[in-house]
Structure 1
Amino acid sequence: MSTPTDPPAGVYAGLRVLEIADEKASFCGKILAANGAEVIKIEPPSGDPSRHIGPFVRDQPDPERSLHFWHYNVNKQGITLDLTHADGQALFRSLIPTADVLIDATPIDFLASHQLDYPHLQSLRPELIMVSITPFGQTGPHRHLKTSDLLHLALGGQMSICGYDPDANGKYDTPPIAPQMWHAYHTASHFAMMGIQAALFERLDSGLGQFIDLAIHDCCALLTEMSVPYYLHTQQILVRQTNRHAYLYPMLPASFPTRDGKHIWAGIAPRPAELGNIVRFLGNIGMADDWLADERFCDPEFLATYEARELIVDRVATYIARHTADEVYHEAQRHQFAWGAVRRPEDNLSDPHLQERGSFQWLSHPGEPELPALPYAVTPWIAPENAWQVEHPAPHLGEHNATVYGALGLSAEELSELQERGVV
């Protein structure tokens, strides 16, 4: 079993966070915990539903062996508590005076129906900062609608600009596709972190906490690249394109297959100087002798035309098809071309650049003695005084009940009695 240690060094050291969150907001608590906060995850006695999200260790479904749950709840302490039970609500109120931040991802009106909403909680702890992360926020006609991560990406607009090129007539013969899974929830957690940080700064002046009403839908609607500004200001709808940004009209291809069955992303900007460099590069390897003898390919005005770019892109595709992804990637970078190999996520584990920067930390799981240490993705920044910590694995169900409730004055006998009655 994991053992909580003293709060690790980090910008949030000394901050206590209570988290009532499933997959919608557990990433927010993870960021705080990784940067020094003491995060206590509160689950129902039956366990958080996200414990049943796979994959699982050795593909054996088990709420204690969900790799999803492990990933999003590393560094946290864990307690169980039935917030629908009167005694559970009393215990929750006892925890509030000890907390600085409450992350709440429960359904709309759930806490209010038990007099655990912000006005009641702030009366117990005026300094409390509470962020409510819900699908559509606390107000508005959609506040009670049911959603999912994918539905947020559909309603927010991201899905409409992800997918494949239209056909020659400008019509789509394939449906839009979704970005990566949990994209909406990650986005919401990042915005929640910004809100919490702003509230912490404000608390330094006022001495008071505040309620942050965050809507996942609003977060997604803010991140549709140029689509919303173009429509708002010009009433133009952008074209969805394969592996390219949506734009007013179809752009030239940018993703090409390699000899070893992979792909290279080689976006070629309509800049004459860059196009001239590509012509010379292809000429140096014997793939553009005809162009080197053609004065047009030395003329910036011609290189700026769609005709020139189309010819160059087609020749680049031929070059890429003759080589492996690594060969193209490194040769292109040597010539200062912003091209790169399209990787699978797992390929990054062996990337020497990420290894040197310490982008992964390996963590052992004492409850799984036959399991080797597993890699956890950590911070994209390097800051010695605020290093991202991977201190201990995600908690087992109710693992820290005795520690947390004991600090409130509950004896082992009282805790056992509450457990028998299903309160914890």
Structure 2
Amino acid sequence: MTLPEGTGPLAGVKILDLSWIVAGPTVGRAMADYGATVIRVESPARIDTARVVGPFHGDEPGVENSGLYGNVNAGKWGLTLDLRVPEAQEIFRRLVIWADIVCESFTAGVLARWQLDYSHLRELKPELIMLSSTLLGQNGPYNQVSGFGSQGAGMAGIQDLAGWPDRAPAGPFGPYTDYPAPRFALTALLAALDHRNRTGEGVFIDQAQAEGSMQLLAPALIDYKNGGPALQRRGNDDPQMCPHGVYPCLVPEGRTEAWVAIAVATDDQWATLAEVIGAEQSMSVEQRREHQKEIDAAITSWAAGMSGADIEETLQRAGISAHRLATTEDAANDPQLAHRNHFRRLPHSLHGETVVEGPRYILSDTPIQPARPAPQYGEHNLQILKEVLGLSDSDIGELAASGALS
């Protein structure tokens, strides 16, 4: 017996997901969307931080109410195991034999102390694929440093670059590296699956989330390593495009501010915009940069009497990149996202219904839909222990008495 198999291109792939918060669970969520069977293994003693981060159903904080946890864990099965307990470690080893992939995000060395690291698990299953995803990787002088994606953004050099040159760094919103890092990990896992399918060989993937996210700064880093200047904060300024900024526009009723982003990439685009705002049309990009303050003031004056939607429509029709800055409310009601069915409603045994983001990629012939909401704490313990491992009721009772499950 085993768990019901998913549908999609990854149907039949079996994953044990020990990761937590956002960066790691997002990888398992993506694979579950496309048919993989993912068992989310949680500690009953240490609550996943994502479970206590909002937004919450009914604005009521609680470990079963988090929208964040629900979003990054939809489609998974839930099992609680206290891996400090030897009996839980033995259950985990048995599940490893069942699995194709193990994903984890413990601080480097923790699993080795329990003999649950890749070097030990591959003895049980040589073809095992394992992803260890931490802030700075499994080795090196800082491998014991732990933290959140906001620290990862700082370590990657991204925090320092967001903001204005005469002000303190503003940093990108939220735990930034939690969002690009899973995309690198997902690609690596799919490549590892392909390698295993062709050769029968297992693979260990050591992902350093901050280091991987530095790839987004690769041109600036390579330029500096080759003798170029260090990149500095410059607000919305762009060396190739001018004007390039965010401008206030007419504020809709019920709101306190509204903004629109405008980027002019060519002289022809500038000539079109200049005609609209009443500026000199023949200026080159170098001349526009010299007169940037005056140009920004002219755009601000023009935009003040127009809605962001009208500005967006007017400039886009003229071939100029422009878009109003969407609020959370705007994004939730965006017609493009609605057309692509980005937000999915799933039945939920506690809340009646919950909303999660849809799969990240739409396939040509295979409809993709999260199979179930994120698991409640230990929701599928009995099902997994019985149907995957074949344990009897008495076996499960002894396991529970050992403290392995709670």
TM-score, normalisation: structure 1? 0.87
| Structure 2 counterparts to residues 87-98 of structure 1, below 5 A | 87-98=87-98
Could you tell me which residue of structure 1 aligns to residue 117 of structure 2?
A: 117
Could you tell me which residue of structure 2 aligns to residue 391 of structure 1?
A: 371
Alpha-carbon distance in 1 for matches of 2:14, 2:373:
18
TM-superposed CA distance for 1:191, in Å, is 1.3
Alpha-carbon distance in 2 for matches of 1:367, 1:30:
21
Output the amino acid matched with 2:177: A
Alpha-carbon distance in 1 for matches of 2:144, 2:132:
14
Of residues 105-114 and 380-389 in structure 1, the stretch that sits farther from structure 2 once superposed is 380-389
TM-superposed CA distance for 1:119, in Å, is 2.0
Alpha-carbon distance in 1 for matches of 2:26, 2:60:
24
Q: Does 1:214 align with 2:207?
A: yes
Number of equivalent positions: 396
| Secondary structure of the corresponding residue to residue 216 of structure 2 | coil
8 Å contact from structure 2 (residues 55, 67) kept in 1 = yes
8 Å contact from structure 1 (residues 302, 308) kept in 2 = no
Which of these two proteins has the greater Rg computed from alpha carbons?
A: 1
| Secondary structure of the corresponding residue to residue 339 of structure 1 | strand
1:198-228 CA deviation, whole Å, 9 max, x = no partner?
A: 1111112211111111111211222226431
| Secondary structure of the corresponding residue to residue 130 of structure 2 | strand
CA distance change for structure 1 residues 314 and 234 in 2, over 3 Å: closer, same or farther? farther
CA distance change for structure 1 residues 277 and 68 in 2, over 3 Å: closer, same or farther? same
| Secondary structure of the corresponding residue to residue 217 of structure 2 | coil
8 Å contact from structure 2 (residues 151, 175) kept in 1 = no
Alpha-carbon distance in 2 for matches of 1:316, 1:357:
33
Could you tell me which residue of structure 2 aligns to residue 179 of structure 1?
A: 172
CA distance change for structure 1 residues 162 and 309 in 2, over 3 Å: closer, same or farther? closer
Alpha-carbon distance in 2 for matches of 1:159, 1:312:
29
Of residues 43-52 and 347-356 in structure 1, the stretch that sits farther from structure 2 once superposed is 43-52
Return the match for 2:312 from 326, 329, 339.
329
CA distance change for structure 1 residues 175 and 386 in 2, over 3 Å: closer, same or farther? farther
Output the amino acid matched with 1:262: A
Alpha-carbon distance in 1 for matches of 2:242, 2:223:
17
Alpha-carbon distance in 1 for matches of 2:340, 2:194:
30
Could you tell me which residue of structure 2 aligns to residue 255 of structure 1?
A: 246
Could you tell me which residue of structure 2 aligns to residue 318 of structure 1?
A: 301
Could you tell me which residue of structure 2 aligns to residue 276 of structure 1?
A: 271
Output the amino acid matched with 2:155: L
| Secondary structure of the corresponding residue to residue 364 of structure 1 | strand
Alpha-carbon distance in 2 for matches of 1:375, 1:209:
36
TM-superposed CA distance for 1:310, in Å, is 5.6
Return the match for 1:264 from 260, 264, 276.
260
Could you tell me which residue of structure 1 aligns to residue 254 of structure 2?
A: none
Could you tell me which residue of structure 1 aligns to residue 394 of structure 2?
A: 413
| Secondary structure of the corresponding residue to residue 361 of structure 2 | coil
Alpha-carbon distance in 1 for matches of 2:373, 2:314:
41
8 Å contact from structure 2 (residues 359, 370) kept in 1 = no
Output the amino acid matched with 1:52: V
Could you tell me which residue of structure 2 aligns to residue 152 of structure 1?
A: 152
Alpha-carbon distance in 2 for matches of 1:305, 1:49:
51
Alpha-carbon distance in 1 for matches of 2:360, 2:81:
35
| Secondary structure of the corresponding residue to residue 40 of structure 1 | strand
Alpha-carbon distance in 2 for matches of 1:403, 1:47:
22
Alpha-carbon distance in 2 for matches of 1:361, 1:244:
37
TM-superposed CA distance for 1:304, in Å, is 5.5
Alpha-carbon distance in 1 for matches of 2:285, 2:46:
65
Could you tell me which residue of structure 2 aligns to residue 169 of structure 1?
A: none
| Secondary structure of the corresponding residue to residue 263 of structure 2 | coil
CA distance change for structure 1 residues 113 and 413 in 2, over 3 Å: closer, same or farther? same
| Secondary structure of the corresponding residue to residue 92 of structure 2 | helix
| Secondary structure of the corresponding residue to residue 264 of structure 1 | strand
8 Å contact from structure 1 (residues 303, 309) kept in 2 = no
Q: Does 1:377 align with 2:360?
A: no
TM-superposed CA distance for 1:176, in Å, is 0.7
Q: Could you tell me the percent identity over the aligned residues?
A: 27
Output the amino acid matched with 1:320: A
1:112-166 CA deviation, whole Å, 9 max, x = no partner?
A: 11111112211211211001011211111111123221111111111111012x3
Q: Does 1:46 align with 2:50?
A: no
Output the amino acid matched with 2:235: T
Alpha-carbon distance in 2 for matches of 1:194, 1:380:
13
TM-score, normalisation: structure 2? 0.90
| Secondary structure of the corresponding residue to residue 159 of structure 1 | helix
